[in-house]
Structure formats: C-alpha cells, structure tokens
Amino acid sequence: MRFPKLPRPVRQLTTHVLAIALGVVLTISTLQVLPSQAEPAPLAPAVDTPEIIAQRQSPATSTIGSSSFVTAAVNRVGTSVVRIDTERTITRRMDPFLQDPFFRRFFGDGLPQQMPSEQLRGLGSGFILDKSGLVLTNAHVVDKADKVTVRLKDGRSFEGKVQGIDEVTDLAVVKINAGNDLPVAPLGSSSNVQVGDWAIAVGNPLGFDNTVTLGIVSTLKRSSAQVGITDKRLDFIQTDAAINPGNSGGPLLNGRGEVIGINTAIRPDAMGIGFAIPIDKAKAIASVLQRQGKVPHPYLGVQMVTLTPDLAKQNNTDPNSPIQIPEINGVFVMQVIPNSPAASAGIRRGDVIVQVDGKAITSAEQLQNLVEDSRLGQVLQVKLQRGNQTQQLSVRTAELQNAS
C-alpha cells in the first residue's frame, strides 16, 4: 500500500513533533530510575580555600603557628636574664714537713716560702627582680666568691655585691648599681603550675650565653630528699627542658613568659631531667634575704627516713638485721645529731616518730615541712614508738647554723 507523499512543510513539522515526544519519554524514564540508585555524594570544592587549610592544621602547628609562643615568651623576659661570673682565690697550705727548721737550714732558699695561690672561676645565671638592680640566683653560684660580675644581655658589666645567701634553699640575692631603669623579669605563680605545662629554661649553659631550651613540667613537689640533696629543704619543679651547668640561677618560664622557677639542682646521672625552685618559695626567701641577709631555719637534728609496715616487715624478717622495727607508718630515726634539740629532748636512734602536735606523721618530707613551718624556739609535742612502748617528748626547735 502506498501512502501519498506529504508536502515538505508538513514533513518537517511531523519530525519536530516526534522529536519532542521522544524527549519527553526519555525524561520521564530517567526520573523514574534515579531514586533507585545510591544517594548523591556531597559536593567538594575543586581547590581548598585558605579557611579549609587552617582547619586541617595539626594541633602542634595551630599552637605554635608561624610566630612561636616560645619566641614571645623569651622576648618578654629577654634582657632581664643575666650572666654571673665569679672568681675565688684559694691559697694551698704548705706541707708541715717543708716548714721544719732543720730542712730549711739544709735546703736554704730552695724551699718555697708559701704555696702559690689558685684562681677558681665559676659561671651561672640569674635574673633581675626590680629596677634598682636586685638579682636573684642560686646560692651555690656566688657562695664564697671573692668577686662577682653581672653581665647584662646588652653587653654591660657590673660588679655585684652579695646581699644574702641561704644555703638551705640554695638562693642568693645580688645587688648591682646600674641606674634605676633596668629590665625586670615578670614573675608568675608556681602554685598555678600543672604537670604538662610548657617549661622554657633560659640561661648560659656551658658558657653559651642566652640559650633557650623547651620542655614540659614533668612533675611537681619533687622533694630534695628524693632528688638526693639531703642538705636542702625544697620541693622542686621537675622538667625535661635541658638544664646544664651554667643554667643554675636562671629562670624557668611558663608559656606566657612568666618566671615560675629558678633552675638548679642538676644531677650528673640524670638524663633529660632538671629541677627548679618554685618561684613562690623564691620570692618569700628573697624578701627575707634582702632585709636580713640570711634566713633562719628551725631544726630538730635527726636524720630520718619514711617508714611503712612493709619496709619494717622486710627488716624484721632479715636474720642479719641488728634491730627490730615497729611495723607501722611513721618516720624512722636513723641518726640523732649530738647537741641538737632532738638529742636534748631524748630522741634516740631507732625511734619511730608517729605524731607531732597531735598530727599524724607518715613521711619524712611531711615532718621536714612541719618543722620548717614552725617558729624558732617553738616547743613541739612529739609522739614516738620505741620498741613496744609509746613515748611523748617535748622538743624545742633551734636555728640551723650550717646546711652541711
């Protein structure tokens, strides 16, 4: 069957209508298929914007940033940190053998008249406490020095006069006359320091001036007895910031550039461990040294160690032990210093102190702090265990004359 040929305009119109109809059918089919497929993925920008890059930084990068907080802290304390050089002259004593008149007649002028003197030089750090030129440092930095020279960061040098030394807390105050407009170190509060806080040590280790090391506060209230410094009465801030000879007396800073401690007490066998005197303690001691030149410290006169039932049991089960110890908590008296308050009160070696003024004593550090906080001449009521008996003694504190 043959269809008649349609005119050209009609054929074009028919073609357009069929194309439109086919497009509508395909669109409807596509809309029906899409819901059955996976959920659409979120759109991501082709290129990260600066805001997105900042959000993706690590915590360390966002904390330090391009301008380090350490730089800001050091710049804040900066010029108030000083170097302290000391000189001490030692004259050795002549051998008595060489002073014998017989040998002098025999050898004549060949014998020396006196031994040559020797110059000992020391190096430490410190920082300026006030604009008048008061410098705080360690006692062992300037102790027994014949000459003290304080060098500022700007290169100026001044002769320092030691105003006061306290060996028990290893602190000293030095005065320089450099006008009344010196840079002063900002002081923080060690009572607010927490384990894990930033710790920045500034000083002159090994003679390398203006050195900065960074670490954290490792622990707090590390007693001098635990550190192995039995002649001090301190609870240190422990840090892993590198502290070397020459750092002694320099400041330990927090992340804001405030002084939280005075670097000191370096143990030769320590690996990556340093100690600092808390600034709250140092401020109190410095104030007394400035006024009086020394700090009175009460003492009892016993060498002691913390005792626990387990330690006592280990001792008592040892067949070679020379003494049986009460298996209790307290402070074991290892030695009584002759002519001390403890000796005068009747405390003996082997006693276990369990109470002072009605307060239970469970550690040597606790007893030491209690005595340190007492007044000179104060009578302390000491309860102790001596074998199977309990004793109550009255001990009057006296002033500690020599830390060693």
pLDDT at 97: 56
Res 224: pLDDT? 83
In a domain, residue 320? The reply is yes
Are residues 203 and 288 located together in one domain of the fold?
Answer: yes
In which domain, by residue range, is 356 found?
A: 298-399
User: What's the total number of domains in the chain?
Assistant: 3
DSSP annotation of 181 reads -
Catalytic residue from among 80, 190, 224, 248? 248
Residue 12 in any domain: the answer is no
Q: Which of 292, 307, 333 is the last residue of a domain?
A: 292
Domain-embedded: residue 90: yes
What is the number of other CB atoms lying within 10 angstroms of the CB of residue 195?
11
- 373 noted as active-site residue: no
Rg of the chain on CA atoms, in Å: 38
Residues 307 and 385 in one domain: yes
Q: What is the pLDDT of residues 107-161, one digit of tens each?
A: 555 555 566 667 788 899 999 999 989 999 999 999 989 999 999 998 899 999 9
Q: Is 190 one of the catalytic residues?
A: no
23 CB contacts (<8 Å, ≥6 apart)? none
Report the CATH number at residue 99: 2.40.10.10
Of 80, 140, 166, 363, which one is the catalytic site residue?
140
The CATH number given to whatever domain includes residue 360 is 2.30.42.10
- In the structure, what pLDDT confidence band is assigned to residue 375 with cuts at 50, 70 and 90? very high
235 domain-assigned: yes
Q: Provide the CB-side half-sphere exposure for 323 (13 A, CA).
A: 15
- Place 167 in a pLDDT band, splitting at 50, 70 and 90: very high
The predicted-structure confidence for 237-279, as pLDDT tens digits, reads as follows 999 998 888 899 999 999 999 999 999 866 667 677 899 999 9
Specify whether 212 is located in the same domain as 156.
Answer: no
Q: Are residues 167 and 210 in the same domain?
A: no
Of the segments 150-154, 206-210, 227-231, which one has the largest average pLDDT value? Answer: 150-154
* Catalytic hit among 85, 170, 235, 351: 170
Beta bridge partners of 333: 304
Report if residue 44 sits inside a domain: no
Regarding whether 161 and 98 lie in a shared domain, the answer is: yes
45 in a structural domain: no
* Helix ranges restricted to H, 209-329: 224-227, 279-292, 309-316
Q: What are phi and psi of 402, to 5 degrees?
A: -145, 125
| Ranges assigned E (strand) in 224-293 | 235-239, 251-253, 259-264, 274-278
Amino acid 161 reads K
What average pLDDT does range 152-174 have in this prediction? 93
Residue of 393 and 53 predicted with greater confidence? 393
Last residue of a domain, one of 151, 175, 199: 175
Residue 286 shares a structural domain with residue 310: no
Domain limit, last residue, from 264, 292, 320: 292
> How many CB atoms sit inside 10 A of residue 379's CB?
14
